[in-house]
Amino acid sequence: MADIAGYGVGDQPVIGRIFLVQRNNSDAQIILASLTKEESLAKLTEAIQIVASDFSHSINSSKDSTLQEILSAQLAILTDPELSSVIIDSINSGAALSSAIDSAINDFTSLLVGGSAEFEARIADLKEIGSRLIDAAAGKSRKLQFPTEGEWIVVSDDLSPLETSQFTSAIKGVVTRDGGPTSHTAIVCRQLRISAVVGCGDISKLLSNELITLDPADNAVYLGERTIENSGPWWKQLPIQKKSIFRPLGNVGSVKDADLVRSSQAQGVGLLRTELLFLDHKNEPSVEEQVKIYSEVVSHCPDGEIIFRTLDAGTDKPIPFLGLGKEENPALGLRGQRISWIRPEFYENQLVAIRETGSKFSNRKISVMAPMIANKEEAISFANSASRLGFDSIGIMVEVPSIIEEISTLPENIHFLSIGTNDLSQYLFAADRQNSSVAHLLNPWQPILLKTISRICSLSKTRGIKVGICGEAASDPLLSAVLIGLGVESLSAGAGAVSDLVAISQVLSPSQAEAAANIALNSISAIDAQRSVRNLLTSK
């Protein structure tokens, strides 16, 4: 029985001493409250310079491209003249520097609520920038000095990308109180191949300098030293199969992702998140501009099928040209394909631009799919628009549970389904994907999610339509065996996880996949499912 349980990232057990990150409640607010207007303005300029130089330094010294990308995005927000002008305006109207920074950050974040994991990450970025600016203006250093010798496990409420970028080679593991399967820390640790257990809730038992053992494969943290058996990745010892039983694909949201997916030998792109290409666009891109942007990304993608997803924005600022309003519950509001109800011309133009892009790449199969489809009427409307524009590979995402029972009677011009497990879990379990207090319900090993995927697969069989998965669930190498056993034909993982998926596609046998699916479906909890499947696949 684990002393502390969370969500494990990676499969290597590690032992180390605790490096406890203690965040002292800064008295920065009190210091900044006594400044005059002129002093506040001068301190703001100084603070922006200090924090920008911290970011630049970390970007230059980081060797990991994902981390560099995250830090560069933060630096761009920090130096955005719009942010400083909002802060300056409120100082000029009498606010203290810390309140001016806080309220500017709140304004920006309230516009970002309700999107995908990337938007969630941007909110964390903004908050991090705000608190760093306040500390820098008050002359407080936020630098963490990680040890450079020995073997250490960092324990913290959560970690920012700037902090993870300062990890030394002595950092072997991470434990966090907050965060879930798709949090920044989880993504970065996966990328850096550092074992982690995130979203543990109460971590008060973990004391500075004590020895602990992490077993991420079992989502567990143990006090003290433990021997954990680990024979390495489960698929490493298996013989190569004559024929692969699924297509390993990758998710792409940038040219960098496309490069990584291509170099990992994926057979195509299962999800091209087009909204990520427009986060910084203030004006609506013309069809020609879109063709240019898409063509650049496609030219870096692997050969094979590329599934473009139409714009999946929320009511959020990162797509400013859509001019959407604010909503109380944006995850339940106008997001994804629903925006075409009020901006049909943008969606029509986007399909035209995707078609034009496809015509320039004869070696690629260009498919399109729509997110957030809730009923047959919406599915038909999208498929008819895409068919009219000449697409012959058209799909819809299955991420709103209401569409599931319509699958067996979907029309002929819908050729494939792609399950978005991130949103499917959110809507199935009524668990906000941005709220780490309910992150355990979003664990993709939840047997009910797996039963739902199984139901989707059997209804699709009745209709004779292929199903893939493009949510985060596809990035878990152990779970991939289960998902294939449930009947999906392709898995599309986050760019950093594609190489494992490719290796698994070469060795996974139908009988292993079927056995893994059966065990997981009959488990009583997510943890039980994961443990049983691990035992099955690692037993000789």
Chain contacts with ligand PEP (rule: CB under 6 A): 116-117, 271, 273, 312, 399, 420-423, 470-471
Report in angstroms the alpha-carbon separations of 354 from 82, 271, 280, 313. Answer: 32, 14, 20, 17
Binding partner at 153 among ligand PEP, Mg ion, none, C-beta below 5 to 8 Å by kind: none
* Window 387-406: residues binding Mg ion (CB under 5 A): 399
Q: Which is nearer to Mg ion, 341 or 388 (CB)?
A: 341
Least separation in angstroms between residue 476's CB and ligand PEP is 13
Q: Which is nearer to ligand PEP, 135 or 399 (CB)?
A: 399
Q: Exposed e or buried b for every residue in 391-410, given b needs 16+ CB within 10 A?
A: bebbbbbbbbeebbebbeeb
- Separation of alpha carbons 484 and 510, rounded Å: 8
| Residue 178 near Mg ion by CB under 5 A | no
Least separation in angstroms between residue 200's CB and Mg ion is 26
| Residue 423 near Mg ion by CB under 5 A | yes
What contacts 45, CB < 8 A, 6 or more positions away? none
Q: Which is nearer to Mg ion, 218 or 257 (CB)?
A: 257
The single residue listed with the structure tokens 């190498």 is 477
Least separation in angstroms between residue 420's CB and Mg ion is 4
For Mg ion, which stretch binds (CB under 5 A), given 10-18, 30-38, 171-179, 421-429?
421-429
Binding partner at 385 among Mg ion, ligand PEP, none, C-beta below 5 to 8 Å by kind: none
Q: Exposed e or buried b for every residue in 491-503, given b needs 16+ CB within 10 A?
A: bbbbbbbbbbbbb
Least separation in angstroms between residue 312's CB and ligand PEP is 6
**8 φ, ψ to 5°?**
-80, 145
Binding mask 445-464 for Mg ion (x = CB under 5 A): --------------------
Q: Which is nearer to ligand PEP, 420 or 487 (CB)?
A: 420
Binding partner at 128 among Mg ion, ligand PEP, none, C-beta below 5 to 8 Å by kind: none
Torsion of CA 253, 249, 396, 330, to 10 degrees: -40
Least separation in angstroms between residue 7's CB and ligand PEP is 17
Token readout for 37 is: 């207007």
- Separation of alpha carbons 92 and 287, rounded Å: 42
| Residue 432 near Mg ion by CB under 5 A | no
Binding partner at 196 among Mg ion, ligand PEP, none, C-beta below 5 to 8 Å by kind: none
- Separation of alpha carbons 421 and 471, rounded Å: 5
Least separation in angstroms between residue 34's CB and ligand PEP is 45
Considering only CA atoms, give the Rg of the chain: 24
- Separation of alpha carbons 533 and 526, rounded Å: 11
Binding partner at 68 among Mg ion, ligand PEP, none, C-beta below 5 to 8 Å by kind: none
Least separation in angstroms between residue 422's CB and Mg ion is 5
Least separation in angstroms between residue 422's CB and ligand PEP is 3
Q: What angle do CA 416, 420, 421 make, to 5 degrees?
A: 130
Least separation in angstroms between residue 533's CB and ligand PEP is 21
Q: Exposed e or buried b for every residue in 191-227, given b needs 16+ CB within 10 A?
A: bbebbbbbbbeebeebeeeeebbbbbbbbbbbbeeee
Q: Which is nearer to ligand PEP, 421 or 446 (CB)?
A: 421
| Residue 158 near Mg ion by CB under 5 A | no
Binding partner at 475 among ligand PEP, Mg ion, none, C-beta below 5 to 8 Å by kind: none
What contacts 51, CB < 8 A, 6 or more positions away? 78, 129, 132, 133, 136
- Separation of alpha carbons 120 and 433, rounded Å: 9
CA 449 to chain centre: 18
| Residue 420 near Mg ion by CB under 5 A | yes
For Mg ion, which stretch binds (CB under 5 A), given 56-64, 151-159, 420-428, 494-502?
420-428
Residues that bind Mg ion (CB under 5 A): 399, 420, 423
